[in-house]
Chain A
Amino acid sequence: DTGVSQNPRHKITKRGQNVTFRCDPISEHNRLYWYRQTLGQGPEFLTYFQNEAQLEKSRLLSDRFSAERPKGSFSTLEIQRTEQGDSAMYLCASSPRQSGANVLTFGAGSRLTVL
Protein backbone atom coordinates (compact mmCIF):
# COMPACT_ATOMS: atom_id res chain seq x y z
CA ASP A 1 0.00 0.00 0.00
CA THR A 2 1.61 3.24 -1.11
CA GLY A 3 -0.72 5.69 0.62
CA VAL A 4 -3.88 7.51 -0.32
CA SER A 5 -4.53 7.60 -4.05
CA GLN A 6 -6.77 10.14 -5.80
CA ASN A 7 -7.97 10.23 -9.38
CA PRO A 8 -8.03 12.13 -11.59
CA ARG A 9 -5.30 14.51 -10.51
CA HIS A 10 -6.65 17.29 -12.71
CA LYS A 11 -10.08 17.85 -14.19
CA ILE A 12 -11.15 20.72 -16.42
CA THR A 13 -14.84 20.92 -17.12
CA LYS A 14 -17.43 23.34 -18.41
CA ARG A 15 -19.96 24.89 -16.10
CA GLY A 16 -23.02 22.69 -15.72
CA GLN A 17 -21.23 19.40 -16.26
CA ASN A 18 -20.97 16.66 -13.65
CA VAL A 19 -17.64 15.45 -12.33
CA THR A 20 -16.64 12.54 -10.13
CA PHE A 21 -13.48 12.09 -8.08
CA ARG A 22 -12.24 8.82 -6.64
CA CYS A 23 -10.23 8.20 -3.49
CA ASP A 24 -8.53 4.96 -2.50
CA PRO A 25 -7.51 5.21 1.17
CA ILE A 26 -4.87 3.23 3.01
CA SER A 27 -6.41 -0.22 3.18
CA GLU A 28 -6.43 -0.65 6.95
CA HIS A 29 -7.86 2.84 7.62
CA ASN A 30 -11.56 2.83 8.43
CA ARG A 31 -11.92 6.62 8.58
CA LEU A 32 -12.11 8.61 5.35
CA TYR A 33 -12.43 12.38 4.94
CA TRP A 34 -12.98 14.78 2.05
CA TYR A 35 -11.64 18.32 2.26
CA ARG A 36 -11.70 21.21 -0.17
CA GLN A 37 -8.83 23.65 -0.52
CA THR A 38 -8.84 26.91 -2.45
CA LEU A 39 -5.79 28.98 -3.26
CA GLY A 40 -4.15 30.46 -0.19
CA GLN A 41 -6.47 28.72 2.27
CA GLY A 42 -6.24 25.75 4.58
CA PRO A 43 -8.24 22.61 3.81
CA GLU A 44 -11.95 22.90 4.67
CA PHE A 45 -13.81 19.86 5.94
CA LEU A 46 -16.53 18.50 3.63
CA THR A 47 -17.54 15.07 4.85
CA TYR A 48 -16.48 12.04 6.89
CA PHE A 49 -17.00 8.29 6.58
CA GLN A 50 -16.41 5.61 9.15
CA ASN A 51 -16.33 2.41 7.16
CA GLU A 52 -19.27 2.76 4.74
CA ALA A 53 -21.32 5.11 6.92
CA GLN A 54 -21.30 8.83 6.13
CA LEU A 55 -21.42 10.32 9.61
CA GLU A 56 -20.96 14.02 9.03
CA LYS A 57 -21.47 16.53 6.23
CA SER A 58 -20.38 20.15 6.27
CA ARG A 59 -22.73 22.99 5.40
CA LEU A 60 -20.27 23.62 2.57
CA LEU A 61 -21.57 20.46 0.93
CA SER A 62 -24.59 21.65 -1.04
CA ASP A 63 -27.13 19.25 -2.51
CA ARG A 64 -25.12 19.26 -5.75
CA PHE A 65 -22.42 17.32 -3.91
CA SER A 66 -22.70 13.66 -3.01
CA ALA A 67 -20.16 11.29 -1.56
CA GLU A 68 -20.24 7.56 -1.21
CA ARG A 69 -18.05 4.86 0.24
CA PRO A 70 -19.54 1.53 -0.80
CA LYS A 71 -18.21 -1.45 1.12
CA GLY A 72 -16.11 0.84 3.25
CA SER A 73 -13.19 0.86 0.85
CA PHE A 74 -12.76 3.49 -1.90
CA SER A 75 -14.87 6.64 -1.93
CA THR A 76 -16.28 8.86 -4.66
CA LEU A 77 -17.18 12.53 -4.55
CA GLU A 78 -19.57 13.69 -7.26
CA ILE A 79 -20.38 17.28 -8.09
CA GLN A 80 -23.43 17.83 -10.26
CA ARG A 81 -24.08 20.92 -12.37
CA THR A 82 -20.67 22.36 -11.60
CA GLU A 83 -20.26 26.07 -10.99
CA GLN A 84 -17.16 28.22 -11.31
CA GLY A 85 -17.09 28.53 -7.53
CA ASP A 86 -16.51 24.78 -7.31
CA SER A 87 -13.01 25.26 -8.72
CA ALA A 88 -10.67 24.03 -6.00
CA MET A 89 -8.41 21.20 -4.92
CA TYR A 90 -10.39 18.30 -3.49
CA LEU A 91 -8.36 16.40 -0.93
CA CYS A 92 -9.07 12.96 0.45
CA ALA A 93 -7.55 11.73 3.70
CA SER A 94 -7.79 8.57 5.75
CA SER A 95 -6.86 7.56 9.28
CA PRO A 96 -7.09 4.50 11.49
CA ARG A 97 -9.35 4.37 14.50
CA GLN A 98 -6.96 4.74 17.40
CA SER A 99 -6.37 6.61 20.59
CA GLY A 100 -4.36 9.77 20.53
CA ALA A 101 -4.30 12.42 17.85
CA ASN A 102 -6.30 11.79 14.70
CA VAL A 103 -3.41 11.86 12.22
CA LEU A 104 -4.70 12.15 8.68
CA THR A 105 -2.81 10.81 5.69
CA PHE A 106 -3.70 12.89 2.65
CA GLY A 107 -3.70 12.07 -1.00
CA ALA A 108 -2.19 14.45 -3.54
CA GLY A 109 -5.62 15.84 -4.34
CA SER A 110 -7.81 16.27 -7.40
CA ARG A 111 -7.73 19.75 -8.86
CA LEU A 112 -10.97 20.90 -10.44
CA THR A 113 -11.19 23.82 -12.84
CA VAL A 114 -14.66 24.88 -13.96
CA LEU A 115 -14.69 27.11 -17.03
Chain B
Amino acid sequence: GESVGLHLPTLSVQEGDNSIINCAYSNSASDYFIWYKQESGKGPQFIIDIRSNMDKRQGQRVTVLLNKTVKHLSLQIAATQPGDSAVYFCAETEAGGYQKVTFGTGTKLQVIP
Protein backbone atom coordinates (compact mmCIF):
# COMPACT_ATOMS: atom_id res chain seq x y z
CA GLY B 1 0.00 0.00 0.00
CA GLU B 2 0.97 3.61 -0.34
CA SER B 3 3.15 4.82 2.50
CA VAL B 4 2.08 7.69 4.69
CA GLY B 5 5.70 8.19 5.65
CA LEU B 6 6.96 10.23 2.70
CA HIS B 7 8.50 13.60 3.59
CA LEU B 8 8.35 12.74 7.29
CA PRO B 9 11.28 12.83 9.71
CA THR B 10 12.68 9.31 9.85
CA LEU B 11 14.27 7.47 12.74
CA SER B 12 16.21 4.32 11.91
CA VAL B 13 16.84 1.95 14.79
CA GLN B 14 18.52 -1.43 15.03
CA GLU B 15 16.25 -4.24 16.15
CA GLY B 16 16.55 -4.72 19.89
CA ASP B 17 17.67 -1.15 20.59
CA ASN B 18 15.51 1.44 22.30
CA SER B 19 13.72 4.11 20.25
CA ILE B 20 12.89 7.65 21.30
CA ILE B 21 10.41 9.67 19.27
CA ASN B 22 9.95 13.33 20.10
CA CYS B 23 7.10 15.77 19.68
CA ALA B 24 6.63 19.46 20.42
CA TYR B 25 3.20 20.89 21.13
CA SER B 26 1.94 24.45 21.31
CA ASN B 27 -1.42 24.45 23.11
CA SER B 28 -0.94 25.15 26.81
CA ALA B 29 -4.59 24.28 27.40
CA SER B 30 -4.19 20.69 26.28
CA ASP B 31 -5.23 18.29 28.98
CA TYR B 32 -4.30 14.95 27.48
CA PHE B 33 -1.57 13.86 25.14
CA ILE B 34 -1.85 10.71 23.09
CA TRP B 35 0.51 8.71 20.91
CA TYR B 36 -0.82 6.93 17.84
CA LYS B 37 0.88 4.41 15.57
CA GLN B 38 -0.02 4.25 11.88
CA GLU B 39 1.05 1.37 9.71
CA SER B 40 0.95 1.62 5.94
CA GLY B 41 -2.59 1.35 4.58
CA LYS B 42 -4.20 1.53 8.03
CA GLY B 43 -5.74 4.13 10.25
CA PRO B 44 -3.91 5.42 13.34
CA GLN B 45 -3.96 3.11 16.35
CA PHE B 46 -3.88 4.25 19.99
CA ILE B 47 -0.69 3.40 21.89
CA ILE B 48 -0.66 5.31 25.15
CA ASP B 49 -1.89 8.56 26.67
CA ILE B 50 -0.78 10.83 29.48
CA ARG B 51 -2.64 13.50 31.40
CA SER B 52 -1.14 16.96 31.73
CA ASN B 53 -0.71 16.61 35.51
CA MET B 54 1.70 13.70 35.01
CA ASP B 55 5.25 13.65 33.68
CA LYS B 56 5.67 9.95 32.98
CA ARG B 57 3.50 6.99 32.18
CA GLN B 58 4.54 3.45 31.32
CA GLY B 59 2.87 0.79 29.26
CA GLN B 60 4.03 -2.47 27.82
CA ARG B 61 7.44 -1.70 26.26
CA VAL B 62 6.44 1.96 25.86
CA THR B 63 6.95 4.99 28.08
CA VAL B 64 5.66 8.49 27.48
CA LEU B 65 7.40 11.49 29.03
CA LEU B 66 5.83 14.92 29.28
CA ASN B 67 7.73 18.14 29.92
CA LYS B 68 5.18 20.94 30.18
CA THR B 69 7.84 23.57 30.81
CA VAL B 70 9.19 23.23 27.27
CA LYS B 71 6.00 21.74 25.79
CA HIS B 72 7.72 18.53 24.80
CA LEU B 73 6.46 14.99 24.61
CA SER B 74 8.42 11.82 23.92
CA LEU B 75 7.64 8.19 23.28
CA GLN B 76 10.20 5.60 24.26
CA ILE B 77 9.96 2.09 22.84
CA ALA B 78 12.06 -0.55 24.55
CA ALA B 79 13.65 -3.42 22.62
CA THR B 80 12.34 -2.19 19.28
CA GLN B 81 10.95 -4.92 17.03
CA PRO B 82 10.32 -5.03 13.26
CA GLY B 83 6.59 -4.80 13.97
CA ASP B 84 7.19 -1.38 15.49
CA SER B 85 8.02 0.02 12.04
CA ALA B 86 5.33 2.63 11.35
CA VAL B 87 4.61 6.35 11.47
CA TYR B 88 4.07 7.69 14.98
CA PHE B 89 1.92 10.74 15.70
CA CYS B 90 1.51 12.68 18.89
CA ALA B 91 -1.90 14.20 19.48
CA GLU B 92 -3.42 16.52 22.03
CA THR B 93 -6.87 17.20 23.35
CA GLU B 94 -8.44 19.69 25.69
CA ALA B 95 -10.62 18.68 28.60
CA GLY B 96 -14.27 19.58 28.30
CA GLY B 97 -16.35 20.23 25.23
CA TYR B 98 -16.17 17.49 22.68
CA GLN B 99 -12.44 16.99 23.14
CA LYS B 100 -11.30 17.46 19.56
CA VAL B 101 -8.08 15.55 19.00
CA THR B 102 -5.40 17.52 17.14
CA PHE B 103 -2.54 15.62 15.56
CA GLY B 104 1.03 16.75 15.21
CA THR B 105 3.60 15.98 12.54
CA GLY B 106 4.52 12.32 12.43
CA THR B 107 7.83 10.50 12.67
CA LYS B 108 8.57 7.44 10.61
CA LEU B 109 10.29 4.67 12.57
CA GLN B 110 12.30 2.17 10.53
CA VAL B 111 13.54 -0.90 12.37
CA ILE B 112 16.62 -2.48 10.86
CA PRO B 113 16.64 -6.28 11.35
Contacts and interface: CB of A to CB of B under 8 A. Distances in A.
A31 to B, nearest CB: 7
A93 B102 CA distance: 13
Contacts of A4: 43
A37 B100 contact: no
Interface string B101-113: 1111110000000
A48 B100 contact: yes
B81 interface: no
A70 interface: no
A41 to B, nearest CB: 7
Instruction: Using C-beta atoms within 8 Å of the partner chain, give the interface range for chain B.
Output: 20 to 34
A54 B6 CA distance: 33
Contacts of B44: 43, 91, 104, 106
Choose among A33, A35, A37, A42 the residue with the greatest number of B CB atoms under 10 Å from its CB: A42
A103 B34 contact: yes
A104 to B, nearest CB: 6
Given A4-B43, A102-B93, A103-B46, A40 B5 contact: yes
B43 A42 contact: no
